[in-house]
Amino acid sequence: MSRIIIIGGSGHVGSYLVPLLVERGHEVVNVSRGVAKPYRPHFAWNEIENVSLDRTVEEERGQFGAKIAALRPDIVVDMISFDLSSTQQIVEALRGKVEHYLFCSTIWVYGHLFSVPSTEIDQPNPIDAYGKGKAESEAWLMREARLTGFPATCFRPGHIVGEGWNPVTPQGNANPETFSLIARGEELVLPNLGLEMVHHVHADDVARWIICAIENRAASIGEVFNTVSEQAVTLRGYAETVYRWFGKEPRITYKPFEEWILGVGEYAENTRGHITRSSCHSIDKSRLRLGYHPRYTSYEAVRESIQALIACGKIVIPHETT
C-alpha cells in the first residue's frame, strides 16, 4: 500500500476520497489550512494524519513544495493548484521522490465547444483566468511527463455535486432559490431555447476516478482525462425533470440570452460562465483506459444534493410537496 498525500483533502471530493483510500489500506495524509471540516462523517478521519499548511503563505515563502516532499509521499493528489507557478513549485520539490502526481484540473479548460461531446484531443481554449491557469499547468505537466518522465496525470472534473454541495441549477448557477421556485410550481425563465448544457459529476465519482487512476498508474501517467457523468443535460430537460420531481407541471418561458441574464442578479458572472461554455464531454478515454464507470447519472447526483438541501432548509418547498 502507498503513502498518499491529498492536498485539499477536506473538500468535497476529499470527503469521499479519504474513506475510499483508507478502506483500501493506504496511509493517508490530509493537507489543508485546517479550517474546513469534511462534508461527510466517516471513521476514516480518525485514522489519517492531518497536516495544517496554508498553501498561499507557504508558496510566498518558497516552502510549500519542500514541506510536501518532507511528508515522504508515494503519491500526491493535488486538488488545489490553480496556476502554473503553484504547480511548478510543488513539482520541482517532488522530482525523483514520488511515484505519481495527480493534478485536479477542470472542464473549464474548454471554452466554447466546436463539437460534442468534447474529447481530450480537443485543444483547450480557456475563456477566463481560472481555466487558463489550469490549462497552462496541464500543458506544462504533460510536457514534463514526456521529456523528463515526471509521473503526472491530469483530470478534469465537471460541475461537482453531491450531498452538502449546491448543484449548478437549470439556470446555470448555484442559486438554490431556483429549486425552491420550481418546487412552488412557479414559472422559470431560461435563455434562448434552453438547449445549452451543463455536465455534472458526483464528488464520489471523482473520488472513484482517482482510485482508478492510481490503480492503473501505467495507463494514466502522462495523460489528461475528462471526469464527468455519462451524459450532460440540457437546461430545458433539467428544468422539466426537476419540476416533475416536485410533482409539478413544467412552467418554462424563454428570453434571448442578453436580455435574460439581466434577471439573474448577483449570479450573472457565474451564470454566463456556465451557459456560454454549454459543457458536454466524453468519458470514453477514462472508461477504456482506466475502467471508470460513474455510479451516478447527472440527475441522480443532483437529486441527492437537492434532498440534502431540503433537509437543511436551503431549499424551501410547500408543505403539500413530498
- At 215 the pLDDT is 98
Looking at the predicted structure, is the pLDDT value of residue 93 above 90? yes
What DSSP character marks residue 10? T
Torsion of CA 60, 74, 20, 42, to 10 degrees: -60
Query: Within a 10 A sphere around the Cβ of 160, how many other Cβ atoms?
Result: 22
Residue 37 has pLDDT above 80, yes or no: no
CB 274 within 8 A of CB 130: no
Mean pLDDT of all residues in 89-116: 97
Higher-confidence residue of 10 and 205: namely: 205
DSSP state letter for 291: -
| pLDDT, tens digit (0-9, with 9 covering 90-100), for 57-86 | 999 999 999 999 999 999 999 999 999 999
Query: 246-279 burial, b if ≥16 CB within 10 A, otherwise e?
Result: bebeeebeeeeeeebbeebeebeeebbbbbbbbb
Task: Residue 48: count other Cβ atoms within 10 Å of its Cβ.
Answer: 19
Using an 8 Å Cβ cutoff, are 19 and 42 in contact?
yes
Average pLDDT over residues 224-253: 98
The percent of residues above 90 in pLDDT, for the chain, comes to 92
pLDDT for res 321: 45
The domain limits of the chain are 3-160+202-227, 162-199+231-279+296-311
Mean pLDDT, the chain, whole residue set: 95
CA distance 139 to 252: 42
C-beta of residue 71 within 8 angstroms of C-beta of residue 93: no
Fold of 162-199+231-279+296-311: UDP-galactose 4-epimerase; domain 1 (3.90.25)
Contact call for residues 279 and 159 (beta carbons, < 8 A): yes
Q: Mind listing the pLDDT tens digit for each residue in 128-151?
A: 999 999 999 999 999 999 999 999
Same CATH topology for 3-160+202-227 and 162-199+231-279+296-311? no
CA gap 6, 134 in Å, rounded = 18
Confirm if 246 and 183 have CB atoms less than 8 A apart.
yes
The pLDDT assigned to 242 comes to 98
**Cell numbers representing residue 3 in the block:** 503513502
pLDDT at 322 over 60: no
The more confidently predicted of residues 321 and 229 is 229
- The matching CATH number, chosen from 3.40.50.1220, 3.40.50.150, 3.90.1300.10, 3.40.50.720, for 3-160+202-227 is 3.40.50.720
pTM of the model: 0.95
38: left (phi over 0), alpha (psi -120 to 50) or beta: beta
Please name the residue that has the C-alpha cell 456560454.
Answer: 276
Report the pLDDT value the prediction gives residue 164, as an integer from 0 to 100: 83
pLDDT in tens, 269-304: 999 999 999 999 999 999 999 999 999 999 999 999
Is the confidence at residue 173, as pLDDT, over 80? Answer: yes
Looking at per-residue pLDDT, the higher value among 221 and 35 belongs to: 221
Arithmetic mean of pLDDT, 163-185: 95
Average pLDDT of span 15-39: 89
pLDDT, mean of residues 223-241: 98
Please tell me the predicted confidence (pLDDT) of residue 288.
98
| Angstrom distances, CA of residue 317 to CA of 33, 47, 160, 184, 309 | 36, 39, 24, 6, 11
CA 58 to chain centre: 25
